[in-house]
Amino acid sequence: MSALHGLKVLDLSRVLAGPLAGQLLADLGAEVTKVERPGEGDDTRRWGPPFLADEDGAATPESAYYLSANRGKASVTIDLTRPEGQALVRRLAAGSDVVIENFKRGGLARYGLDYPALKALNPRLVYCSITGFGQDGPYADRPGYDLLVQGMSGLMSITGEADGEPMKTGVAITDLCTGLYAALAILAALAHREHSGEGQYIDLALLDVATSLLSYQANNYLVGGRVPARMGNAHPSIVPYQVFATADGHLLLAVGNDGQFRAFCEAAACPGLASDERYAGNRGRVAHREELIARLAPVLRGRTTADWLHRLEAAGVPCGPINTVDQVFADPQLRHRGMVLELDHPLAPGLRLLGNPIRLSGTPLACRRAPPRLGADTGRVLAERLGLDEAEIRRLRAEAVI
């Protein structure tokens, strides 16, 4: 049995942060019902190319982006702007443990689907709202996008080359981490409900999450008073900890302590650097960063990446290659860890998707169901959860409520 077996989640969210939270709960065994707009669905279904190809190689309506955050769910189409549609969602919420939504502040109140309305029907409900800037404050009514909050939070000010322009990360890191925080908060609220019997409201903001990702860089400012700056691939507190050019490419060198620095110097045939009082301790290496890097750079350019990996790994020095995405999924460690899932999809059997990194010894993850086609489960869910008969479901379809 999976960890969240029996838990019912109503996912009213779209795009990335909310859907990712729902997918994580589905992976852990929850029954997740995704409510989408009839005929259109989640915006990300159309965010391509690339799109999933069928057995004949033809593109389908399912984008790779949508497939990244919606496995394990049932898809139900309901028009929330229609009173009958709102009534259906209220009935689903009344029988659910969790609701996830990422409408603008107050967006669901006009439909009678906000937390106070649903709490009145189901006091045990855990209701998670995700917005750009939270439910209060001077920015609360602004739309929030990952790129904007990466800039506003300071993340972009510390990402990129020192003499280059501010840079976002290669993935929507704020959305992704908000989804992780949302799943964590939901599990905490469910744990509280176990002994209190009460649900609660969760208010998550992309800007808050992005700011939390500053981590030690934030404390470098709050404690030390120094405004962090872009340093490319270097680390503000550890040296050498960055990318170096080799004879045929690049190498990541991550020296985390003085013993590792001595081991590196021995493997690199430059023991004099380890005994130099300027470089023997990390504090000195940080203080003399530029001159030390200038001395190391020509040494590392003298051998190939493969040669350095062999030498340094044997010496216990943390190092690694910079893999392209195709190399990542050919890596023997990740293949062994099962970070690629193969799931049956009605349009493309053997669909390959990115896996979940969680490993639970007693309750293995339930990543067995491919992301659903739009509305694929509408009739079944309304019949099983709400007791609607075939005639009523046909009528709702004919009237475009579902």
Q: Give me 335's structure tokens.
A: 């293949």
Neighbours of 103 (CB within 10 A): 20
Cβ contact 289:280 at 8 Å: no
The tokens for 128 are 């998670």
Q: Looking at residue 243, what DSSP letter applies?
A: E
Cα–Cα distance measured from residue 118 to residue 12, given in angstroms and rounded to the nearest whole number: 13
Q: What is the DSSP string of 13-66?
A: --SSHHHHHHHHHHHTT-EEEEEE-TTT--GGGG--SSEEE-TTS-EEEEEHHH
Burial of 56 (0-12, 13-18, 19+ CB in 10 A): exposed
Q: Confirm if 45 and 60 have CB atoms less than 8 A apart.
A: no
The Cα 105–Cα 293 span in angstroms is 50
DSSP-derived secondary structure letter, 81? T
Annotated catalytic residue 175: yes
Is 276:325 a contact under the CB 8 Å cutoff? Answer: no
Cis link prior to 143 (omega < 30° from 0)?
no
CA distance 74 to 324: 33
Q: Looking at residue 321, what DSSP letter applies? A: -
- List the alpha helices (DSSP H) in 135-172: 146-152
**Residue 296 CA: distances (Å) to CA of 68, 162, 216, 279:** 41, 19, 26, 12
Kindly report the length of the chain.
402
User: Which one is catalytic: 175, 248, 258, 307?
Assistant: 175
Classify 374 as helix, strand or coil.
coil
- Catalytic residue list: 175
